[in-house]
Structure formats: structure tokens, C-alpha cells
Amino acid sequence: MIRVESLTRTYGDLTAVDQVSFEIGTGEIVGLLGHNGAGKTTIMKMLTGYLEPTGGYIEINGLDISTKRATVQRQIGYLPENDPLYYEMTVIDYLDYAATLHGVPDAERTDRIREAIAQTELSSKATDAIGTLSRGFCQRVGVAQAILHNPRVLILDEPTNGLDPTQVQHMRDLIRSMAEHATVILSTHILQEVQAICTRVIIIHDGRKVLDSTMDELLTGKRLQVAVDAKPERAIKMLSSVDGVVSVEPVSQRGPGNRYVLDLGNDGDPAEAAHIVASRIATEGWKLYALQPERRDLEQIFSEISAVEQAYSG
């Protein structure tokens, strides 16, 4: 569990993180999304206790990071943006060293290292020097050290950066399995990445939080699609009179019935509106062929995000 309140960080005159607040529970995989320089890395460094906030409050698993930093850090797995690996060390020696830093008890050390190597599919490289590994394998070593101590909070700065498509898939599976027992927060500047793996997205723009939404909310539009067996004039008149429906637009027919898209406005609730529409159609005695919230594609979401970002710029 992560709780952040009014988190702020300045560098001289620059406010890199500006009054950011959020709460993340166990089992959530939250994507911090933002352009280069938005403030994602700065937030992550503060969450892990490696950077002092200028203002605000961070609580990890109920502990105030400003007073319990060492305890908190033992509960966190952190993959930094540019993981400072020791290139002359072998993978296994490096993980042994990382286990010491994480305070893994001696009795558990061998098992934990073996498990982290298996989880990140590093067995074939375990005795290789880190300096001889490809970018993708180095990234896996970084993840192996982050999960070595079974952390309850996992903070991953651009975890799929530099990985090939197979490795990306594997990394996503690994993150999902880690999220069964941990709170996961990862950063990326790619919306597709968030869609593929995250349950929730927080968008950071110029250091500020401009959007915080579950992926389901983000992908479910504020429009309802309905297909009904009624004359268009009567259908449009009735549907327009439903509470919460802002406008009704006929769309080309696919399948049985006449199809309409109901715009519910910015504050619309598709589930509530669907319930009312269904009962009104039943009262009219019309046949209802389809009734579902419109799923938005990434293009539509991108333009909404750009609009939100523009509203916060300047």
C-alpha cells in the first residue's frame, strides 16, 4: 500500500513534481504515464527514499518514509531507470551482493537467489559477467535484484525499456505474478504498455497529476450503443428523453434492429444509463437487440489525454 499526499520536489526554480497525491492498494498495477521530463522518475526516487521531497508526505505499508526509511526500503523492490549494475561481477555474485543489501537472511539466501534467477529466466547467464550481457538481459538482472527479497511494494522505472517483444511479454507476465502479493507501480511513456499490463493509470504532466483512472474507466467511453426494434422517430424521441442522455445519434445498421449511440456527457455513468434505457425499452414493448457501453480505442484515449494535458499547460 502506497499513500502519497501533496508530494512536491523542486530543483532550484524548477518544480519537477507539484502537489501529487494518490493511494495504491495491494494487487494494483499502476502505470505512471507521462512524456520525457514529466516527473515520473523523480516521483519514483522519492517513493523509494532515494530522494528527499521538498514537500508532502509518503507512507508505504503504513510507515512514514521520512522517519522509517531503512525499514521501508527493505519492503521495496526498485528497478531504477539506469540500473547501476556492477559490470565486472557475474550475475550470481551480483545477486548475492544485492541479497546482502536487502537484508535477506543467510538461511534463505540461496533459495531466494535461485528463485529470482528462475523468475527472470537468467539461468543460462548466471555465471556470466554482467558486462557481457545484452541490454535485455541486463534489464532482467535489474529486475532479479528488485524481486530478490519478495518485496511488498515493487517500483519499476521503465521496466520494458530495451527489451525485445518476447522479453516484453515475459516481463509483463512476471510483473502480473508479482502483483498477486505486492503493490506495483511502473513508469512508462507508452500508453500501449499501460493498457497491456496496468489496472490503473496516473498521468503526470509538467510534474502535476492530470488524470487518475482505472483502465476499465478509461477504455469505457461515456457513450452507450443500443440496437432496438422501433421506428427511428419514436426511438430517438424516447431515447432522448432518458435521464442523463445528452444526444442520440443513429448509426449504420449492423445486425438486427436500428442502432443508436447515446452520448452521456462527461459525467455520464454508462451502467446507470443502460439500466434505465433497458427498462424504458421494456415498458415500450420494443425488442432490445444490443445495449453496451462503447469501448474506446487507444487513438481516442490519446486525444483525450492530449486535451487534458493542453488544458494544464501554460
**Residue from 22, 10, 71, 31 nearest 195 by CA:** 31
Stretch touching ligand ATP by CB under 6 A, among 40-48, 120-128, 161-169, 233-241: 40-48
Question: For residue 309, how many other CB atoms are within 10 A of its CB?
Answer: 19
Residues 171-200 that bind ligand ATP (CB under 6 A): 189
Smaller CB separation from ligand ATP, 60 or 203: 203
CA distance 4 to 16: 16
**Residue from 209, 269, 260 nearest 238 by CA:** 260
Q: Is the CB of residue 177 less than 8 Å from the CB of residue 280? A: no
Smaller CB separation from ligand ATP, 17 or 133: 17
Minimum CB separation from ligand ATP for residue 303, in Å? Answer: 21
Residue that has been written with the C-alpha cell 527489451 in this structure: 163
Smaller CB separation from ligand ATP, 191 or 227: 191
CA distance 33 to 205: 9
Smaller CB separation from ligand ATP, 11 or 87: 11
39 part of the interface to ligand ATP, by CB under 6 A: yes
Minimum CB separation from ligand ATP for residue 187, in Å? Answer: 6
11 part of the interface to ligand ATP, by CB under 6 A: yes
36 part of the interface to ligand ATP, by CB under 6 A: yes
Smaller CB separation from ligand ATP, 204 or 224: 204
**Residue from 227, 185, 254, 231 nearest 33 by CA:** 185
Q: Is the CB of residue 182 less than 8 Å from the CB of residue 176? A: no
159 part of the interface to ligand ATP, by CB under 6 A: no
160 part of the interface to ligand ATP, by CB under 6 A: no
Query: What's the order of all strands across the beta sheet hosting 200-205?
Result: 76-79, 153-157, 183-188, 29-33, 200-205, 208-214
CA distance 250 to 268: 19
Size of the site for ligand ATP (CB under 6 A): 13
Question: For residue 288, how many other CB atoms are within 10 A of its CB?
Answer: 16
Minimum CB separation from ligand ATP for residue 311, in Å? Answer: 19
Residue choice 6, 25, 27, 37 for contact with ligand ATP (CB under 6 A): 37
Q: CB within 8 A of 49, min separation 6: which ones?
A: 65, 69, 72, 73, 76
Cell representation of residue 259: 442502432
Smaller CB separation from ligand ATP, 5 or 81: 81
Residue choice 4, 29, 38, 113 for contact with ligand ATP (CB under 6 A): 38
Minimum CB separation from ligand ATP for residue 37, in Å? Answer: 4
Smaller CB separation from ligand ATP, 184 or 227: 184
Smaller CB separation from ligand ATP, 119 or 187: 187
16 part of the interface to ligand ATP, by CB under 6 A: yes
Residues 74-113 that bind ligand ATP (CB under 6 A): 81
**Residue from 185, 219, 178 nearest 202 by CA:** 185
x/- contact string, 42-71, with ligand ATP (CB under 6 A)? x-----------------------------
CA distance 141 to 242: 57
Q: Which residues bind ligand ATP (CB under 6 A)?
A: 11, 14, 16, 34, 36-42, 81, 189
